[in-house]
């Protein structure tokens, strides 16, 4: 028996025989396994582009004014990022949440909190904030890639982890620029690839 459940319509409360039951279970489980979906890269793209734009802005202000108060512009990343995320996701009801979704969400909640804490602390204590952030974001990206089994995201994350040394070898405000570029390589490029694959999978 070969049933395509994408087109099958369960109209009534039919009683099945044992074999049909087993077929139904296995088909439903198979169909519920979510493949790479369109728009999966959205969060990466939103935060990647926002971070890139903000770091260019911070670089410009710091370079031209030498006034460290402009570091407050960094706060724009969570503010703009979450606002954009809300508007982009508002009209797209999420159909199902899988175990993978939960793992990825939790990884980003934990590491995102660490990112926020480190950034906040950097306002008061001198710490090498940008390398720490690159390392943390690289770790979260690599774990995400491994969990969703998508190599470009893993590569992006690993490149991020490796490039945490870059701000150490750069001096001055160029560190800020490097940070933006790292985030671009780590999130924006894999984000676009993820969306592209998602679109192709849905055609």
- Decide if 115 contacts 136 (C-beta within 8 A): yes
Residues that bind another protein in the complex, under the rule CB under 8 A: 5, 7-16, 18-22, 24-25, 28-29, 31-34, 90-91, 93-99, 101-102
> Minimum distance between the CB of residue 7 and another protein, rounded to whole angstroms?
7
Of 64 and 98, CB closest to another protein: 98
The tokens for 170 are 């750069």
In terms of CB distance, is 7 or 67 closer to another protein?
Answer: 7
Angle of the 174-183 helix axis to the 42-65 helix axis, nearest 10: 170
Query: Among residues 29 and 169, whose Cβ is nearest to another protein?
Result: 29
Q: What is the Cα 65 distance to its own chain's centre? A: 33
* Residue 105: CB minimum distance to another protein, A: 11
Taking residue 46's Cβ as centre, other Cβ atoms within 10 Å add up to: 22
Shortest CA distance to 33 belongs to which of 115, 88, 101, 114? 101
Cβ atoms 136, 119 nearer than 8 A: no
Q: Which is nearer to another protein, 89 or 199 (CB)?
A: 89
Q: How far is the CB of 40 from another protein (least distance, A)?
A: 16
Max Cα separation, the chain?
77
- The four Cα atoms 91, 93, 97, 100 give a dihedral, to 10 degrees, of -30
DSSP 8-state secondary structure symbol assigned to residue 173: T
CB of residue 113 to another protein, shortest distance in Å:
22
Closer to another protein by CB, 18 or 35: give it: 18
**Least distance from another protein to the Cβ atom of residue 28, Å:** 4
Q: Which is nearer to another protein, 15 or 125 (CB)?
A: 15
Tell the smallest beta-carbon distance from residue 100 to another protein (Å): 9
Instruction: Say if CB 84 and CB 50 are below 8 A apart.
Output: yes
């Amino acid at each position: 028996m070969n049933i395509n459940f994408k087109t099958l319509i369960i109209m009534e409360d039919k009683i099945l025989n044992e074999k049909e039951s087993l077929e139904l279970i296995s088909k439903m489980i198979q169909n519920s396994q979510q493949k790479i979906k369109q728009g999966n890269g959205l969060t990466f793209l939103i935060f990647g582009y926002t971070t890139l734009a903000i770091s260019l802005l911070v670089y410009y202000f710091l370079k031209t004014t030498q006034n460290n108060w402009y570091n407050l512009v960094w706060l724009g990343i969570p503010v703009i990022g979450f606002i954009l995320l809300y508007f982009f996701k508002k009209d797209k009801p999420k159909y199902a949440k899988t175990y993978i979704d939960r793992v990825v969400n939790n990884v980003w909640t934990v590491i995102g909190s660490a990112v926020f804490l480190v950034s906040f602390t950097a306002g008061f204590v001198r710490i090498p904030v940008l390398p720490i952030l690159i390392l943390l974001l690289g770790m979260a990206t690599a774990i995400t890639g491994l969990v969703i089994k998508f190599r470009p995201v893993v590569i992006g994350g690993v490149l991020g982890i490796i490039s945490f040394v870059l701000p150490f070898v750069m001096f001055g405000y160029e560190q800020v620029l490097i940070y933006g570029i790292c985030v671009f390589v780590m999130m924006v490029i894999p984000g676009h690839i993820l969306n592209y694959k998602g679109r192709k999978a849905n055609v």
